[in-house]
Amino acid sequence: MLLLTALPARAEQFAAPVAFGAMFDAEVTVSIRRFRAEAQEVWHIAGTCAGAEGATVIRLTDFPANADLTVFLGAKPAQAHRVICVTNPDRAPDAVRDLLP
């Protein structure tokens, strides 16, 4: 599973596909944090990738205690632990949709 593997030394060179799902569809629950210091990982959203296969299905929660992973959304891919693309931008929350190129 993409999201629970060990962190790479630097950002991946490709965009890993992520899909937003409901509570029972999700493989991983993620809490997006406002400050980098509050997060376990930094992600950069490269854009959309509709139709990409093998997407990890995530569910967002506002509460870090309920999350499998806490994430800060960074602007620079070189400073991110993971570079992701979104397979279903229509289901993305506003915080994510606003960052899509």
Domain annotation covers residue 46: yes
Domain annotation covers residue 74: yes
Position 81 pLDDT exceeds 60: yes
Q: CA-to-CA distance for 63 and 90, rounded, in angstroms?
A: 23
What 3-state DSSP class applies to 88?
Answer: coil
Position 5 pLDDT exceeds 80: no
Domain annotation covers residue 5: no
pTM value is: 0.82
Domain annotation covers residue 52: yes
Domains in the chain, number: 1
What 3-state DSSP class applies to 3?
Answer: helix
Per-residue pLDDT tens over the stretch 17-42: 999 998 888 999 999 999 999 999 99
Domain annotation covers residue 79: yes
Q: Which domain holds residue 40?
A: 26-97
